[in-house]
Amino acid sequence: MQAEIITIGDEILIGQIVDTNSAFIAKQLNKIGVSVYQITSVQDEEEHILKSLKEAEENADIIILTGGLGPTKDDITKNTLAAYFQDTLVQDEAVLENIKFLWENYVQKPLSQLNIDQALIPSKAIALMNKVGSAPGMWMEKGNKTFISLPGVPFEMETLIQEEVLPRLQKKYKSPYILHRTLLTYGLGESSLAELIEDWEANLPKHIKLAYLPNLGKVRLRISAKGFHKEQIIKEVDEQIQLLLPLIKEYFTGFEDLEETIEALVAKQFIAQNKTLSAAESCTGGKIAERITEVPGASNYFKGSIVSYATEVKTSVLKVSEELIKKHSVVSAEVAEAMAVSALKLFETDYAIATTGNAGPTKGDSDAEVGTVYIAIARKGFVYSEKYMLGNHRVKVINKAVNKAFEMLQKEFLKNR
Amino acid sequence: MQAEIITIGDEILIGQIVDTNSAFIAKQLNKIGVSVYQITSVQDEEEHILKSLKEAEENADIIILTGGLGPTKDDITKNTLAAYFQDTLVQDEAVLENIKFLWENYVQKPLSQLNIDQALIPSKAIALMNKVGSAPGMWMEKGNKTFISLPGVPFEMETLIQEEVLPRLQKKYKSPYILHRTLLTYGLGESSLAELIEDWEANLPKHIKLAYLPNLGKVRLRISAKGFHKEQIIKEVDEQIQLLLPLIKEYFTGFEDLEETIEALVAKQFIAQNKTLSAAESCTGGKIAERITEVPGASNYFKGSIVSYATEVKTSVLKVSEELIKKHSVVSAEVAEAMAVSALKLFETDYAIATTGNAGPTKGDSDAEVGTVYIAIARKGFVYSEKYMLGNHRVKVINKAVNKAFEMLQKEFLKNR
C-alpha cells in the first residue's frame, strides 16, 4: 500500500514556513503499514495542483492533500478537487452545524458568508468533521484509490488524521506491518561505524534495510522491515539486532523509539517511578518547562520551574549566594548546581534540573564564551553538572541545551535503576 | 527563472525527520529572484530519483538535490546522478585534498577507503568544496539547465548554498526581483479580516498577490510581487500597504519581514521605556518566558518567570493564599491576579503577567471547562485580568494563550503612553 502526500501553499515554496505536516502524516501512515512513496509541495495554483493529483494517482493508492482549505480567495484546493473529479460543490448540513456550534461557543461573532461557504464540499465527497476548526476534511474515492484533503493548520490536520483518516484507512485497506528500529550510537563517525559492521550489513536479508543517520557526533542506525506477518518481522529484526549489538557495544546508547520524543520517554519514567521534577532555567528561558508541559499528563510529575533570567533573580528568588556567583561567575558548574539544589528545595521535588549559560549573540552578564552551557541535576543528597559547548547560533544553543537536559534526565534514570 | 528542490532520503518519507532544508533553500533562492516551482521528497531508490530528475528537468531551469551523499551503502545520489548524465565517477584531487585536510585537523584517525571514495564525482561535474564536511557539492549543466547536488546535513548544505551556489546562480542567470512583505495582525479571525479588506483586495493590481496565513489568534497577510524593475515593484507594494494600513489599524502589530513579531515589539517598548517584566505561568508552562527570551536582548527587561504547574506551588512558591484558591478555584480571575501581583513582588519588576487555565485534554485540578484561560497583568498598585475561551486542543490552547498574553502586554503599553 503506497501513499503520496501533497502539501499545498505558496508559503512552503517561498520558504516562509517549514512543512512539518508531511513528517507527521508519514509517521502516522507508517504505523498502520502504509508506505509513503513521495511528498510533493506545490503552489496555490490550479493547473499545478491538477498535475500533481494526476501524477500522484499514477504512483499511489492513497493521496493525502493538506492546505488551501481556508475561507479566503487564495485557498483553491476545494474547487480544484471538484474540477479533478468533474464534480460540483454542495452544502453539507452536518459541516454547517459544526461551524455554527464552533462560532457560538468560541468565536461569539455572527457567521459570515465566507464561514458558511466552508460547508460547501464536492458532492462526491464524504466530509470528515473538524472539531477544532471550520474547514472540514474530505474523503473521495476513485476505484480503489482514495483522495483525502485536510486543512493545513497543523493541529486541525493532526486531529483529523488521528480521529478520522487512520481508522477509515485501516478499515478500507489490508496493510502490511512496518517495523523501524533505530539504534543510537555516540562517539564513532559514519564511515568508521560502517566499516565496523560491514560483514553484518552484507549478510542482512534482502527485505531488511539499514540506514545511517549521522548528526554531529551521533549516528543513528535505522533497521526497517515490512511484511504481513508481524511476529515474524519482529523476530527477524530482533535477531539481527542481537547480532549487531556486540559489534557496536562501546558506542551504543539506546533505542530511539520512532513514536516517542525524549520528553515523552522522560515523562513515562517519572510517572512509572512516582517521582517528581522541578527546574531552574537561565539560558533555556522556560523552554524545558514548556517542552515538559506540552506532553499531556505532565501535572503527574512536573511541579514547576523558576526562570531566573536576570542574574539578581538567582539570588533573590533562587537564593544562590552572591558570593558564589562572584567567585565562579554566573555561567559556571557551581551556580548550575546551586540552582538545581535550590529548585529541589523550593518545589519539594525528588529531582531538579538547572541550566545556566550564554546563548549569545553577545556575552551578557558573564565572560563565558557564547555557546557555553552548564546543566545540573539534583536529587536528595546528590548533585552533579556537565559543561557543553553548543556553537554560536542563539536558537540552536537554546534548543541543543534543552535536548541535552532531557538526555541527562534520561541517563540519570538509567543509572539509578 | 524556476527551480525545483528534490530532497532524497527514506528518513523524510517515514517521518523520522522534518525536511527543513527545503525551506532554507527556497528562502535563499527567492532572495536572488528564483521562484521555486515544486519541492519533491523521494526515497533512496535509483529508479525513483531518476524519475524525479526527469520530471524536474521538464518543469524547472534549476534543479537542487539534497541528501544521499554520505559514504555508506544507503547513499546512492552520486551514482544515480552519474547514470542520469550517462557519466562515470572520477577522483577529484581538490576534493581529496580537502578531505585529507579535514581528517588531519578534526578527525585525527586514518583515512579509510570509504572516506577517499567521497572524492569521486561525475567527470562532467564541477565540485563545490565543502569546508565543513567530507561530501562535496556538485554542479552539472545540461543546455541551459543546472543540476546541483548538496549534502543533506543542514549546516553543510547551508554553507554550500551561501558560499558556492548562490554566487554561481547569480552569475549564470538574470533574475527578476521578488518582493514579499508580511503584515502581522492579532485579534481578528481570517474570514472577518477578509471581509474588512474585501474592497482593497478586489482592487489589487493583477501582478500583486495576497495570501492569508492564519495561526492561533494571529493572521499574517503576505503581499508578493515580482518584476525586473526593483524600484517600481517596491513603490507599488508600498502604495498598496499605505492603502491597507488604515483599514486594519486596530489589529496590525508590525511587519514580519522586519522581524517584528509581537514579542519583539513588546521587547522594544519595554526597553525604550526602561521598564522590567516578570511572569508567573501555570497553563502556559514556561512558553511566555521562552518566547520572550528567544529575542536577543531580552535580558535588558525580562527578569524571570515562575512556572507554577502544580497547584501547591502557587501557594508554596508564589504565596497565593490557599483560601483564595479554595474559594475561587485555581482557574479563576482572582488567582491569576494574585499570581501576577506575587510575581511583581518576587522579581521586583515594573510589570508582571500571569496565566492560569485548563489546556486539557482532561480537567486537572480545576472544574473549569477545557480551554478556559485567565490572564492577568499587574503593575504597581494596579492589576486586572481577562478571561478567554480558547478551544479544546491542548497545544492550540497553550499557543493562543501565549499570543493573547503578548497582545495584552502591548495594549497595556498603548494605554499608558
ipTM comes to 0.71
Q: In Å, how far from its chain's centre is CA A313?
A: 33
Q: Which residues lie below 8 Å from residue B144, measured CB to CB, with a gap of 6+?
A: B61
Summarised one tens digit per residue, pLDDT across range A246-260 is 999 877 777 876 556
The shortest CB-CB distance from A71 to any of B39, B194, B392 is to B194
Query: Per-residue pLDDT averaged across A66-80, rounded?
Result: 92
Q: Which residues pair with A287 in a beta bridge?
A: none
User: Coil, helix or strand for B15?
Assistant: coil
The shortest CB-CB distance from A214 to any of B26, B70, B293 is to B70
Task: For residue B284, list chain A residues with Cβ-Cβ distance below 8 A.
Answer: 290
Phi-psi region of B229 (alpha: psi -120 to 50; beta: other; left: phi over 0): beta
Task: For residue B210, list chain A residues with Cβ-Cβ distance below 8 A.
Answer: 73-74
Question: How does DSSP classify residue B299?
Answer: G
User: Coil, helix or strand for B251?
Assistant: coil
Amino acid A385: pLDDT: 96
Q: At what angle do helices A77-84 and A46-59 cross, to 10 degrees?
A: 50
Which uninterrupted H or E stretch holds B254? Answer: strand B252-255
The shortest CB-CB distance from B213 to any of A11, A29, A289 is to A11
What are the φ/ψ torsions at residue B253 (nearest 5 degrees)?
-115, -15
Q: Do B395 and A17 count as a contact with CB atoms less than 8 A apart?
A: no
Residue of A nearest to B180 (CA): A14
Q: Do A19 and B28 count as a contact with CB atoms less than 8 A apart?
A: no
Q: Do A211 and B10 count as a contact with CB atoms less than 8 A apart?
A: yes
Read off the pTM: 0.71
Q: Cα-atom radius of gyration of chain A, to the nearest Å?
A: 26
pLDDT at A362 over 80: no
Amino acid A109: pLDDT: 79
Amino acid A403: pLDDT: 85
Residue A254 Cα, gap to closest chain B Cα (Å): 16
Residue of B nearest to A346 (CA): B317
Percent of chain B surpassing pLDDT 90: 65
Percent of chain A surpassing pLDDT 90: 64
The confidence band for A104, taking pLDDT boundaries of 50, 70 and 90, is: confident
Summarised one tens digit per residue, pLDDT across range A287-310 is 999 999 888 888 889 999 999 988
CA distances to A114, B210, B300, B367 from A150, rounded to whole Å, are: 18, 22, 43, 33
Summarised one tens digit per residue, pLDDT across range A326-352 is 999 999 999 999 999 999 999 999 999
Q: Do A303 and B294 count as a contact with CB atoms less than 8 A apart?
A: no
User: Coil, helix or strand for B314?
Assistant: helix
pLDDT at A394 over 80: no
Q: Do A20 and B18 count as a contact with CB atoms less than 8 A apart?
A: yes
Q: Do A12 and B23 count as a contact with CB atoms less than 8 A apart?
A: yes
Domains of chain B: 2-172 (3.40.980.10), 177-255 (3.30.70.2860), 262-415 (3.90.950.20)
The shortest CB-CB distance from B289 to any of A43, A75, A286 is to A286
The shortest CB-CB distance from A287 to any of B11, B290, B364 is to B290
Residue of A nearest to B67 (CA): A213
Distance between CA B372 and CA B388 in Å, rounded?
A: 6
CA B111, B112, B115, B117 dihedral sign is positive
Q: Do A191 and B306 count as a contact with CB atoms less than 8 A apart?
A: no
Amino acid A69: pLDDT: 93
Best residue in A7, A8, A14 to probe B by mutation, most B CBs within 10 Å? Answer: A14
Task: For residue B11, list chain A residues with Cβ-Cβ distance below 8 A.
Answer: 211, 213, 222
Q: Which of A51-60, A132-141, B181-190 has the lowest mean pLDDT?
A: B181-190
Amino acid A216: pLDDT: 59
Amino acid B28: pLDDT: 94
* Residue of B288, B279, B282, B280 lying closest to A287 (CA atoms): B288
Q: Do A12 and B39 count as a contact with CB atoms less than 8 A apart?
A: yes
- Compute the 3-state secondary structure of chain B and give helix, strand, coil in percent, each to the nearest 5: 45, 25, 30
* Residue of B256, B227, B229 lying closest to B241 (CA atoms): B256
Amino acid A270: pLDDT: 92
CA distances to A281, A315, A358 from A338, rounded to whole Å, are: 12, 10, 17
What are the φ/ψ torsions at residue B373 (nearest 5 degrees)?
-135, 130
Show the cell assigned to B256: 514580519
Q: Do A182 and B41 count as a contact with CB atoms less than 8 A apart?
A: no
Distance between CA B363 and CA B246 in Å, rounded?
A: 43
The confidence band for A100, taking pLDDT boundaries of 50, 70 and 90, is: very high
Amino acid A299: pLDDT: 85
**Whether the Cβ atoms of residue A65 and residue A6 lie closer than 8 Å to each other:** yes
Amino acid A189: pLDDT: 79
How many contacts does A have with B, using Cβ atoms within 8 A? Answer: 331
Task: For residue B396, list chain A residues with Cβ-Cβ distance below 8 A.
Answer: 132, 155
Residue B133 Cα, gap to closest chain A Cα (Å): 11
Q: Do A22 and B10 count as a contact with CB atoms less than 8 A apart?
A: no
Amino acid B245: pLDDT: 93
Q: Do A307 and B213 count as a contact with CB atoms less than 8 A apart?
A: no
Q: Which residues of chain B have pLDDT under 70?
A: 108, 257-260, 363-365, 414-417
Residue of A nearest to B134 (CA): A191
Nearest-5° Cα angle at B240, B238 to B246: 105
The shortest CB-CB distance from B286 to any of A36, A258, A290 is to A290
Distance between CA B152 and CA B70 in Å, rounded?
A: 9
Amino acid B109: pLDDT: 78
Q: Do A112 and B30 count as a contact with CB atoms less than 8 A apart?
A: no
pLDDT at A265 over 90: no
Distance between CA B207 and CA B154 in Å, rounded?
A: 34
Question: How does DSSP classify residue B112?
Answer: P
* Residue of B279, B225, B224, B263 lying closest to A309 (CA atoms): B279
Q: Do A41 and B39 count as a contact with CB atoms less than 8 A apart?
A: yes
Q: Do B182 and A281 count as a contact with CB atoms less than 8 A apart?
A: no
Q: Do B72 and A194 count as a contact with CB atoms less than 8 A apart?
A: yes
Best residue in B313, B353, B356, B399 to probe A by mutation, most A CBs within 10 Å? Answer: B313
Show the cell assigned to A43: 503552489
